[in-house]
């Protein structure tokens, strides 16, 4: 370039290949990095949420509903994970798009435009697909899958907390991966607040507060709207109109999920590793077998049930039994043998508790 011209090149991220290319063709170029990418961002609040291994998807739903961010980004580690999560959220009523390496440039551009226009509020993406992503009002990042390393955690989380705005980064951590998550957070210098998943009651309370603070209640009304309001009030009481407004408000919101939070997982699992383990599956039993105590119920006094959670999802009686009790409205004494297989778990429920259990899980 001419000696009297100064050229400035800007990029949100610089891959190693690009840096090597620039070094090869540029002479005496000065590189200025305005961001420390190896440290957590001060405007990002980190939260780690403990979740049962089979309830990650449900936890994503509740986290999205609890925070109700104008834009949210959900990270999965694989393309298949993106496809599955995208379909699950869309089925539940979220305005969602998916980004992964299998999309063409046109599809990617359309998805990003939907987010910028407000037609979509949630983006499910892989790490590679989200590189360089800069979305307005992105206030929430959810790690549905734990990042594989420190740079991944910081890069993902760095999609929020930009331009002086605050952001929230939420790691969903299954009970079996807590130690890995703790090591990852420590390596990144992140002090995360550990907690259980948002409950349906907490989400309903948030919804109520958001409704009462909705600007639509205080904004000036058009003459046409006022005329229609008077007409409605001539035929309905104020209480009936308000109740109808609340129903309309709730109908547009995806339903919150009932999640299980094992209080025993509130502390680090290091104490569990120091004492003998009980109620564990014996890996030598390849065909599946009873776990924990011997069955106390006679064969004629029980009925068998199954759930699609097995060794592939780290099934463990430690959290399976409380979950079965919660979902089926039964107690621990109503549960007999538990058999864990590769992709499912079978368990006994006493005949006495069977009607109540069947009605609850129907």
Task: Kindly report, residue by residue over 67-100, the tens digit of the pLDDT.
Answer: 999 999 999 999 999 999 999 999 999 999 999 8
pLDDT at site 86: 95
Quick one: fold of 44-199?
Rossmann fold (3.40.50)
DSSP structural state of residue 137 = T
Q: What is the structure's pLDDT at 13?
A: 60
What is residue 50's three-state secondary structure? strand
Paired tokens of 125: 């993406």
Report which secondary-structure segment, H or E, holds 74.
Answer: strand 71-75
> What residue has token string 């599946």?
288
From residue 213, how far is each of 216, 243, 252, 319, 336 by CA, in Å?
9, 16, 17, 38, 50
Cα 38 to the center of its chain, rounded Å: 24
The pairing of beta strand 335-340 with beta strand 345-350: antiparallel
What's the pLDDT at 95?
95
Residue closest to 162 by CA, chosen among 182, 183, 133, 204 = 133
pLDDT score recorded for residue 53:
83
Helices vs strands, H then E, count in the chain = 12, 10
The tens digit of pLDDT for each residue in 267-324 reads 544 444 333 333 433 433 444 444 444 445 677 788 999 888 888 877 888 888 888 8
What stretches of 185-334 adopt beta strand conformation (E)? 193-195, 302-307
CA angle 156, 162, 163 (to 5 degrees): 165
Buried residues in 149-175 as b, exposed as e (16+ CB within 10 A)? ebebbbbbbbbbbbeeeebbbbbbbbb
CA distance 284 to 282: 5
N- to C-terminal Cα separation, the chain? 73
Q: How much is the pLDDT for 280?
A: 39
Position 36 scores a pLDDT of 55
Q: Which residues of 201-220 are buried (b: 16+ CB within 10 A; e: fewer)?
A: eebeebbeeeeeeeeeeeee
Contact (CB, 8 A) for 334 and 357: yes
The answer, as to whether pTM is greater than 0.85, is no
Exposed / middle / buried, residue 254 (Cβ in 10 Å: 0-12, 13-18, 19+): middle
Q: Which residues of the chain have pLDDT under 50?
A: 264, 268-295
Domain ranges of the chain: 44-199, 276-361
Closest CA to 314 of 345, 293, 270: 345
pLDDT at 266: 53
User: Please, are residues 314 and 174 in contact by the beta-carbon 8 Å criterion?
Assistant: yes
């Amino acid at each position: 370039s001419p000696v009297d011209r100064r050229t400035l090149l800007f990029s949100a991220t610089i891959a190693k290949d690009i840096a090597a290319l620039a070094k090869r063709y540029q002479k005496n170029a000065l590189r200025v990095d305005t961001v420390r990418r190896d440290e957590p961002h001060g405007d990002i609040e980190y939260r780690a949420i403990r979740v049962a291994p089979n309830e990650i998807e449900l936890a994503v739903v509740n986290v999205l509903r609890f925070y109700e961010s104008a834009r949210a980004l959900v990270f999965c580690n694989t393309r298949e994970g993106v496809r599955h999560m995208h379909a699950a959220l869309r089925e539940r009523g979220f305005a969602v798009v998916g980004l992964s390496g299998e999309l063409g440039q046109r599809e990617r551009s359309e998805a990003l435009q939907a987010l910028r226009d407000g037609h979509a509020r949630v983006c499910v993406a892989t790490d590679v697909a989200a590189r360089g992503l800069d979305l307005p009002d992105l206030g929430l990042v959810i790690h549905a899958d734990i990042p594989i390393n420190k740079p991944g955690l910081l890069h993902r989380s760095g999609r929020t907390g930009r331009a002086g705005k605050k952001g929230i980064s939420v790691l969903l951590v299954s009970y079996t991966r807590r130690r890995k998550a703790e090591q990852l957070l420590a390596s990144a210098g992140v002090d995360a607040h550990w907690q259980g998943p948002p409950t349906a009651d907490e989400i309903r309370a948030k919804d109520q507060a958001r409704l009462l603070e909705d600007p639509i209640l205080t904004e000036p009304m058009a003459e046409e709207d006022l005329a229609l309001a008077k007409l409605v009030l001539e035929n309905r009481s104020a209480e009936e109109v308000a109740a109808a407004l609340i129903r309309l408000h709730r109908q547009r919101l995806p339903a919150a999920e009932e999640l299980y939070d094992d209080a025993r997982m509130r502390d680090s699992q290091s104490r569990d590793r120091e004492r003998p383990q009980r109620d564990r599956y014996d890996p030598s039993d390849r065909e599946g077998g009873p776990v924990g105590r011997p069955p106390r119920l006679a064969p004629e006094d029980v009925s068998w049930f199954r759930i699609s959670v097995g060794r592939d999802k780290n099934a463990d009686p430690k959290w399976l039994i409380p979950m079965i009790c919660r979902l089926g409205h039964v107690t621990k004494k109503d549960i007999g043998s538990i058999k864990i297989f590769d992709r499912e778990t079978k368990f006994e429920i006493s005949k006495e508790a069977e009607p109540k259990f069947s009605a609850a899980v129907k």
